[in-house]
Structure 1
Amino acid sequence: MLDLHRVRADTPGCLGQAFLDSAGSSLPPRVVTETVITHLRREAEVGGYRAAAERADDLADVKTALAALLGAQPGDLALTESATRGWADFFYSVPLAAGEKILVSEVEYASNAIAALQRARSTGAVVEVVPSTPTGEVDLDALARMLDERVRLVSLVHAPTNGGLLNPVREVVDLAHAVGALVLLDACQSVGQVPVDVVALGVDALSGTGRKWLRGPRGTGFLYVRPELAATMEPAALDLHGAQWTEESGYRLAPDASRFEFWECSVAGRLGLGAAVRYLLDLGIDEIEQSVSALAEYTRTELAAVPGVTVRDLGVDRTGIVSFTVAGVDPTRVRESLAAKDITVTVSGRGSTYLDMSRRGLDAVVRASPHYFNSFDDVDRLVEAVDGR
Structure 2
Amino acid sequence: MDITALRAGTPGCAHRAHLNNAGAGLLSRRTLETVTAHLELEARIGGYEAATERLDAIEAVPAAVAELIGGRAGEVALFDSATHAWHAAFYALSFRPGDRILTGHAEYGSNMLAYLQIARRTGAEVVVVPDDEHGQLDTAALEKLIDERVRLVGVTHVPTGGGLVNPVADVGRITRRAGVPFLLDATQSVGQFPVDVRGIGCDMLVATGRKFLRGPRGTGFLWVRPETLEHLEPHVTESTAAAWDDKGGFTWREGIRRFTTFEMNYAAVLGLGSAVRQALELGPAVTGERTLALGAALRERLDALPGVTTYDQGRERCAIVTARVDGVPSDEVKDTLTRHGINVSLTSPDQARTEGRDVHPLVRLSPHYYNTEDELDRAAGVLAGLARPGQPR
* Structure 1 counterpart of 2:147: 148
Check whether the contact 2:75–2:225 (CA below 8 A) recurs between aligned residues.
yes
Q: Which amino acid is the alignment partner of residue 289 of structure 1?
A: G
In structure 2, runs of 5+ residues without a counterpart are 387-393
TM-fit CA distance, 1:42: 0.8
Query: 1: CA distance between counterparts of 2:224 and 2:294?
Result: 33
* Structure 2 counterpart of 1:251: 250
Answer yes or no: is 1:332 the counterpart of 2:331.
yes
Query: 2: CA distance between counterparts of 1:16 and 1:375?
Result: 14
Of 353, 360, 364, 1:363 maps to 360
Query: 1: CA distance between counterparts of 2:169 and 2:295?
Result: 25
Query: 2: CA distance between counterparts of 1:232 and 1:167?
Result: 26
For residue 77 of structure 2, give the secondary structure of its aligned residue in structure 1.
strand
Query: 2: CA distance between counterparts of 1:16 and 1:36?
Result: 21
Residues 160-239 of structure 1: pairs in structure 2 closer than 5 A: 160-239=159-238
* Structure 1 counterpart of 2:390: none
* Structure 2 counterpart of 1:294: 293
Of 375, 378, 384, 1:378 maps to 375
TM-fit CA distance, 1:361: 2.1
Query: 2: CA distance between counterparts of 1:4 and 1:105?
Result: 37
Query: 2: CA distance between counterparts of 1:316 and 1:28?
Result: 31
* Structure 2 counterpart of 1:280: 279
TM-fit CA distance, 1:307: 1.4
Answer yes or no: is 1:348 the counterpart of 2:347.
yes
Deviations 1:43-79 (A, max 9, x none): 1111111100111110111112111111111211110
Query: 2: CA distance between counterparts of 1:361 and 1:199?
Result: 36
Query: 1: CA distance between counterparts of 2:231 and 2:290?
Result: 40
- The percentage of aligned residue pairs carrying the same residue is 44
Check whether the contact 2:66–2:73 (CA below 8 A) recurs between aligned residues.
yes
* Structure 1 counterpart of 2:85: 86
For residue 74 of structure 1, give the secondary structure of its aligned residue in structure 2.
coil
For residue 237 of structure 1, give the secondary structure of its aligned residue in structure 2.
coil
Check whether the contact 1:105–1:130 (CA below 8 A) recurs between aligned residues.
yes
Query: 2: CA distance between counterparts of 1:179 and 1:29?
Result: 43
Deviations 1:331-358 (A, max 9, x none): 11111111011110000021111111xx
Query: 1: CA distance between counterparts of 2:221 and 2:183?
Result: 13
Check whether the contact 1:18–1:342 (CA below 8 A) recurs between aligned residues.
yes
Q: Which amino acid is the alignment partner of residue 7 of structure 1?
A: L
TM-fit CA distance, 1:178: 3.0
How many correspondences in the alignment? 386
Query: 1: CA distance between counterparts of 2:350 and 2:76?
Result: 30
Check whether the contact 1:149–1:180 (CA below 8 A) recurs between aligned residues.
no
Check whether the contact 1:152–1:180 (CA below 8 A) recurs between aligned residues.
no
For residue 314 of structure 2, give the secondary structure of its aligned residue in structure 1.
coil
Deviations 1:261-296 (A, max 9, x none): 211110100000000000111111111111101111
* Structure 2 counterpart of 1:56: 55
TM-fit CA distance, 1:248: 5.8
Query: 2: CA distance between counterparts of 1:247 and 1:383?
Result: 67
TM-score by length of 2: 0.96
Query: 2: CA distance between counterparts of 1:111 and 1:247?
Result: 40
Check whether the contact 1:231–1:255 (CA below 8 A) recurs between aligned residues.
no
Check whether the contact 2:25–2:214 (CA below 8 A) recurs between aligned residues.
yes
Q: Which amino acid is the alignment partner of residue 211 of structure 2?
A: K
For residue 192 of structure 1, give the secondary structure of its aligned residue in structure 2.
coil
Query: 2: CA distance between counterparts of 1:166 and 1:254?
Result: 36
Check whether the contact 1:300–1:311 (CA below 8 A) recurs between aligned residues.
yes
Q: Hey, which bits of structure 1, 4+ residues long, moved more than 4 A? A: none
TM-score by length of 1: 0.97
For residue 354 of structure 2, give the secondary structure of its aligned residue in structure 1.
helix
Deviations 1:290-314 (A, max 9, x none): 1101111110011111111001111
TM-fit CA distance, 1:315: 1.2
Q: Which amino acid is the alignment partner of residue 376 of structure 2?
A: V
Q: CA RMSD in A?
A: 1.1
Query: 1: CA distance between counterparts of 2:153 and 2:274?
Result: 33
TM-fit CA distance, 1:16: 3.2
Deviations 1:138-169 (A, max 9, x none): 00111112111000000011111111111111
TM-fit CA distance, 1:231: 3.7
* Structure 2 counterpart of 1:157: 156
